[in-house]
């Protein structure tokens, strides 16, 4: 019942400033598709999903996410997972620096200065909160299509989970470490905030935290680390472009694995930094009743221009790491039969946010609705989405107010509830065709 995930970080779509680098990076991304497909095939299974730990884009512009979406569609197809089984968190390059007005910068500086108290005050004010999240506008459209909405209340994002044995579940918790990122961010100055640090532990579940910045980039790193080591079993991060792996014993029969990713497309290619990604397998170790994490690190061979196993990273390390897992043991004895050992690859499923009790709307929708929602928010820009809402009588044509992201989602849900899914899908097809024709003129 092993669950296999492709792990990418810092892909930086749109970072290339010259034509040669475009071709070089595009070639590496094509080779990654080949390599991931070959490695998954060797396992005799298909991937359960794809994990992105931030910096999907470079300048957080709509066009960059269009390219990212097209490439991720190809990757999902090559490794055999659904496009809807892609999880992500934002990084510092997923904020639009052009949206950092003097007022927003003042508030970000104030949060750095005064910490949780100032952050909570801004999050509790509707207008200030939306201004704070305006920097994520393009990312929010992109990520919400996948069901990875940013929780604008500053709480951690809704979870998904995958069963690795009967009564043994791996839950993914997504955090936004870029919440107070500005134009330039110093190590140790960012803040998660209390609303993200607190997440509940559940018997029978071990948690995997997805976050862009490693803990040493946070002001509240000590307090965050206390929650993580108590309640999580794995932390996966990105940002620093160089991979690392550390397993810390927390207490007897309780471990914390921290994996920092290399960059899938770093800013510069040199002797230290190059193209990297991981294939991560989560499994249940029956003998220890524990979570086993197997890491297959993939790195670019500059001589052969292809991805290979990162032998340097693995030197002296075991690929498979069995972690002391107290919450598995508290879940009662699992009932394992031959039938449960031989079934299809585990599927990612939605679970409720244990703090807010909420479940993201799109994850509780049927897959056909989720796929339309993916295309609506990811594949067409804001002005075309507004036009569709007018054409389908969701909003009046003379409405002049700008629709914020949350309001757009409500109108989308309204169209679905009125039985207009087919009309909505057809309107999206027409908008995409019109856009492509405009691009070729």
User: 419 versus 352: which is more confidently predicted?
Assistant: 419
- Over 90: is that where the pLDDT of 358 sits? no
Burial class (CB in 10 A: 0-12, 13-18, 19+), 306: middle
- Over 50: is that where the pLDDT of 356 sits? no
Please give the model's pTM, rounded to 2 decimal places: 0.92
CA 282 to chain centre: 17
**What span, in angstroms and rounded, lies between the C-alpha atoms of 117 and 54?**
26
Q: Do β-strands 49-53 and 86-89 pair in parallel, antiparallel, or remain unpaired?
A: parallel
DSSP 305-353: TEEEE-HHHHTT--SEEEEP-HHHHTT------HHHHSSSPP--EEE--
Residue 202 CB coordination number (10 Å)? 17
End-to-end CA separation in angstroms for the chain: 50
349 contacts: CB under 8 Å, gap ≥ 6: 160, 161, 162
Instruction: Identify which of 6, 94, 78, 56 has the alpha carbon closest to the alpha carbon of residue 348.
Output: 6
Q: How far is CA 411 from CA 395, 406, 417, 441, in A?
A: 8, 9, 10, 32
**What span, in angstroms and rounded, lies between the C-alpha atoms of 289 and 268?**
43
Mean predicted lDDT score pLDDT of the chain: 89
Q: What are the tens digits of pLDDT across the range 267-315?
A: 888 778 899 999 999 999 999 999 999 999 999 999 999 999 998 998 8
Q: Is 198 helix (H, G, I), strand (E, B) or coil?
A: coil
Q: What are the tens digits of pLDDT across the range 117-149?
A: 999 999 998 888 888 899 999 999 999 889 888
What domains lie within the chain, and their CATH numbers?
Answer: 3-361 (3.60.21.10), 380-440 (no CATH)
Q: What is the mean pLDDT of residues 177-188?
A: 91
Sheet holding 205-210, edge to edge: 244-251, 254-260, 232-237, 205-210, 168-174, 157-165, 349-351
What pLDDT shows up at residue 341?
52
Q: % helix / strand / coil in the chain, to the nearest 5?
A: 40, 20, 35
Q: How far is CA 119 from CA 187, 194, 195, 218, 224, in A?
A: 19, 9, 10, 14, 16
Instruction: Identify which of 162, 155, 313, 327 has the alpha carbon closest to the alpha carbon of residue 245.
Output: 313
Q: Is 273 left (phi over 0), alpha (psi -120 to 50) or beta?
A: beta
Number of H helices, E strands in the chain: 15, 14
**What span, in angstroms and rounded, lies between the C-alpha atoms of 189 and 220?**
9
Q: Do β-strands 290-301 and 168-174 pair in parallel, antiparallel, or remain unpaired?
A: unpaired
């Amino acid at each position: 019942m092993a669950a296999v995930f492709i792990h990418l970080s810092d892909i930086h779509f749109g970072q290339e400033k010259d034509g040669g680098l475009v071709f070089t990076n595009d070639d590496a991304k094509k080779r990654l598709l080949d390599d991931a497909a070959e490695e998954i095939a060797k396992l005799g299974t298909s991937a359960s999903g794809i994990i992105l730990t931030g910096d999907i884009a470079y300048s957080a512009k709509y066009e960059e996410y269009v390219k990212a979406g097209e490439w991720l569609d190809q990757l999902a197809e090559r490794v055999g997972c659904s496009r809807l089984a892609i999880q992500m968190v934002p990084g510092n390059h997923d904020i639009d620096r052009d949206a950092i007005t003097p007022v927003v910068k003042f508030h970000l500086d104030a949060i750095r200065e005064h910490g949780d108290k100032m952050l909570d005050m801004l999050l509790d004010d509707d207008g200030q909160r939306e201004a704070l999240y305006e920097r994520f506008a393009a990312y929010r459209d992109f990520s919400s299509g996948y069901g990875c909405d940013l929780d604008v209340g500053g709480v951690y994002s809704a979870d998904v989970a995958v069963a690795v044995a009967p009564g043994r579940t791996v839950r993914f918790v997504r955090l936004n470490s870029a919440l107070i990122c500005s134009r330039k961010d110093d190590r140790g100055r960012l803040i998660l905030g209390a609303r993200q640090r607190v997440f509940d532990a559940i018997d029978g579940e071990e948690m995997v935290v997805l976050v862009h910045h490693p803990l040493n980039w946070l002001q509240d790193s000590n307090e965050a680390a206390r929650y993580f080591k108590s309640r999580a079993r794995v932390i996966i991060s990105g940002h620093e472009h160089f991979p690392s792996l550390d397993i810390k014993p927390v207490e007897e029969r309780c471990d914390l694995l921290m994996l920092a990713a290399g960059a899938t497309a770093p800013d510069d290619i040199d002797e230290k930094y190059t193209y990297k990604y991981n294939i991560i397998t989560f499994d249940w170790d029956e003998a220890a009743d524990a979570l086993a994490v197997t890491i297959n690190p993939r790195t670019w061979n500059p001589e052969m221009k292809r991805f290979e196993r990162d032998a340097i990273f693995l030197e002296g390390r075991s690929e498979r790491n069995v972690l002391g897992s107290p919450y598995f043991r508290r879940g009662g004895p699992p009932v394992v039969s031959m039938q449960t050992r031989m079934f299809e690859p585990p599927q990612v499923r939605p679970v409720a946010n244990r703090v807010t009790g909420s479940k993201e709307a799109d994850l509780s929708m049927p897959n056909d609705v989720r796929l339309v929602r993916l295309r609506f928010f990811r594949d067409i820009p804001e002005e075309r989405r507004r036009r569709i809402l007018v054409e389908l009588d969701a909003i009046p044509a003379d409405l002049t107010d700008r629709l914020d992201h949350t309001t757009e989602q409500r109108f989308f849900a309204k169209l679905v509830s009125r039985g207009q899914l087919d009309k909505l899908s057809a309107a999206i097809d027409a908008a995409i065709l019109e856009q492509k024709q405009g691009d070729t003129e």
